Structure 1
Amino acid sequence: MSFLALTLIVISAFMHATWNYLAKRSEGGYTFVWLYMVVSIVVYAPFAIGLFLWRDSQIGWLEMGFMAGSAIIHLAYSLLLQKGYKVGDLSLIYPICRGTGPLIVAIAAFFIYDEKLTTTGVIGIVLITFSIFIITGGMEAIKRNGTLVPLLYGLLIGVMIASYTLLDKGAVSVVMMQPLMLIYGSIIAQTVVLSPFVFRRWKDVRHEWRYHKKEVIGVGVLNQLAYILVLTAMTFTPVSHVAPVREMSILIGTIMGSHMLSEGFGPRRIAAAGAMVAGVIAVAVQ
């Protein structure tokens, strides 16, 4: 992996953990998702318009298809993530979903994009799986502490992460779409889909904006920027390398949840998250 790709992904990891921390602090739900998407549309409009005019980007049916597919998966991911944060801790949900995502990507990329999976990569996958088990406290803790539901949410969110990562990889490296154009089109589509539901609960929108304005703006800016950096790295780096390395945010998010949000099981989850980071790095350098 090149130094440029690594730099982009590390910066993205810090942004990603930060916006997830902000999302956990909000009251969540689809009104919050809709609000931060509207913020994203407004903030990134000048850049999207400028890129469209400067690069003379062609958006045909194929590109629109990728935008629509990305929008559907991203919307499912966003709504599941908000629900997951309502039923579980950030220091539990975040490592599980971010750890299982690259695991699935590394395996799927072997078949879809003909990317290699070496012995080092297999070791990394084992470390990731083991870390997830430790973070949840093992089977007894799952049964005793009601961790099963958050665990299932984390795994399902991880599937969504893998799905949009693999789809978007095809968009930027095979179809050669500009990352910003892909993301911007996806955001608009998601906002349109959510709007009819949000307009029926406008009181909730005003409440969310009044009490969580900072969180809405923070997520609206950082969420998209973090992913733009990742997609940019994907244009010249194998997805099976990018997806694991970006999960260095796992350790950051776990520390935020354990200390800044005063969630329990801090030392164990931080140690397990560290092992997970080792696992994803092993997958990255395979």
Structure 2
Amino acid sequence: MTVFGFTLVLAAAFCHATWNFLVKRINGGPELVWLFSAVSVLIYIPIAGYIIITDRPHFGFWEILFVAGSIPLHLGYFLLLQTGYRKGDLSLVYPTARATGPFLSTTFAVLFLGENMTAQVALGAGAVIIGVVGLTGGIKSRAKNLTTSIGFGIGAGVLIGSYTIWDAYAVSVVLVSPILLDFVSNIGRTILLTPIALKRKERVAYYWREHRLDVVAVAVFSSLAYVLVLYALTFTPVVYVAPTREISVLLTVLMGSLLLGEGDLARRMKWALLILMGVALLATA
């Protein structure tokens, strides 16, 4: 993995952990996803417009297919993650999702994109999975939300693996612009969630009134985090990029335990460090 690619993914990990922490703190539902998706569209319109005017990207059948297919995968991920955050613990739901996601992404990359699976890649993936089992299974007697957190985390991880492979093919083979792919995905989420937002407009108004800065930050960082990953995927295989993103697990565990009072920091950090070791093996394979 090149230094530039690693830098992009590392920056994405910081952005990703930040917006996930903010979303958990706001504790919203689909109407919150609509709000920050709509705000993201407004923020990134100038950049998307500049790319369309200067690059004049081609949008034929395959480009439209992959852009359209990306929308429900990301929407499902956001909604599932939001529900998991409301019913579970951030520092359990998020690490489980972020560990399941790269394992499936790596597997899908080998099966569908023809990327190579080496012994080091397999060892790294195993370390990640063991880390997740330890991170969640060791506190069963004290965490009444354990099963719920794991369930939502695994579900989100399946969607992470699916949209990672789909979008990697879109930007590296079909050559869709990473910024335009994420921009259109935000437009799609906004449109699809508008009926819910209209029914819950009081909640939308509340989030904007009480959490405006957080909403804007989520809008900026959620898109930026993924655009950075997509750019890395244009010249770096999925088996390197997907696991390296999981550096954000350590950051999120720290945020959940220290800032949200979810506790059990010492135990969670030990297993999170094992996940990071697995990530390191995968990233340097």
Decide whether aligned partners of structure 1 residues 142 and 104 sit closer, same or farther in structure 2, where only a CA change above 3 A counts.
Answer: farther
| Whole-angstrom distance in 1 between the partners of 2:198 and 2:145 | 35
Shift of 1:61: 2.6
* Match in the other structure for 1:5: 5
Equivalent AA in structure 2 for residue 133 of structure 1 = V
CA distance in 2, matches of 1:145, 1:192: 36
Cα pair 1:124 1:283 within 8 Å, conserved: yes
Say which SS state the counterpart of residue 136 (structure 1) adopts: helix
- Structure 1 residue 8 displacement after superposition: 0.5
Partner of 1:32: 32
**Cα RMSD, aligned residues only:** 1.3
SS at match of 1:145: coil
Deviations 1:230-281 (Å, cap 9, x if unpaired)?
A: 0000000001110000111110111111111111211111111111011122
Residue identity opposite 2:232 in structure 1? A
2:8–2:228 CA contact under 8 A, matched in 1: yes
Instruction: Calculate the TM-score normalised by the size of structure 2.
Output: 0.97
Partner residue in 1 for 2:271? 272
* 1:154-208 per-position Cα deviation (integer Å, ceiling 9, x unaligned): 0000001111100000100010111001111111111111112211221111111
State the match for 2:179 in structure 1. 180
Superposition map of 1:87-236 within 5 A: 87-138=87-138, 141=140, 145-236=144-235
3-state SS of the aligned residue for 1:141? Answer: coil
Change (3 A) 1:85 1:50: same
What displacement does 1:143 show?
A: 9.3
Unaligned runs of 5+ in 1: none
Which region of structure 1 is more displaced relative to structure 2, 53-62 or 234-243?
53-62
* 2:77 alignment partner in structure 1: 77
Question: How has the CA–CA distance of structure 1 residues 144 and 185 changed in structure 2, closer, same or farther, with 3 Å as cutoff?
Answer: closer
The percentage of counterpart residues that share the same residue type is 40
- CA shift digits 1:65-114 (9 cap, x unpaired): 11111110000000111100011111111111001100111111111111
* 1:145 to partner: Cα distance: 3.0
In structure 2, how many angstroms separate the alpha carbons of the residues matched to 1:37 and 1:281? Answer: 32
Q: Quick one: distance in 2 between partners of 1:59 and 1:185?
A: 12
- Write the distance in 2 (CA, Å) between the matches of 1:31 and 1:78: 11
In structure 1, what is the Cα distance between the partners aligned to 2:2 and 2:189?
33
Tell me, in whole angstroms, the C-alpha distance in 2 between the residues paired with 1:255 and 1:143: 19
Distance 1:122 1:204, change over 3 A: same
Task: Indicate the larger mover: 174-183 or 193-202.
Answer: 193-202
* Contact 1:25 1:215 (8 Å CA) reproduced: no
CA distance in structure 2 between the aligned counterparts of 1:260 and 1:82, rounded to whole angstroms: 18
One-letter identity of the residue aligned with 1:15: C
CA contact (8 A) 1:63 1:175 kept: yes
The equivalent of 1:46 in structure 2 is 46
Is the contact made by 1:31 and 1:208 (CA closer than 8 Å) also made in structure 2?
Answer: no
Q: Name the residue aligned to 2:63.
A: 63
The separation in 2 between residues aligned to 1:130 and 1:260, in whole angstroms, is 26
Q: How many residues align?
A: 285
Find the aligned partners of 1:201 and 1:148 in 2 and give their Cα distance: 29
Look up the match of 1:257: 256
Contact 2:87 2:145 in 1 (8 A): no
Give runs of ≥4 in structure 1 deviating > 2 Å: 142-146
- Give a deviation string over 1:96-155, Cα, whole Å, max 9, x none: 1001100111111111111111111111111111111111134x7179734111101000
Question: 1:211: how far off?
Answer: 1.5
Report the residue type matching 1:234 in the other structure. Answer: L
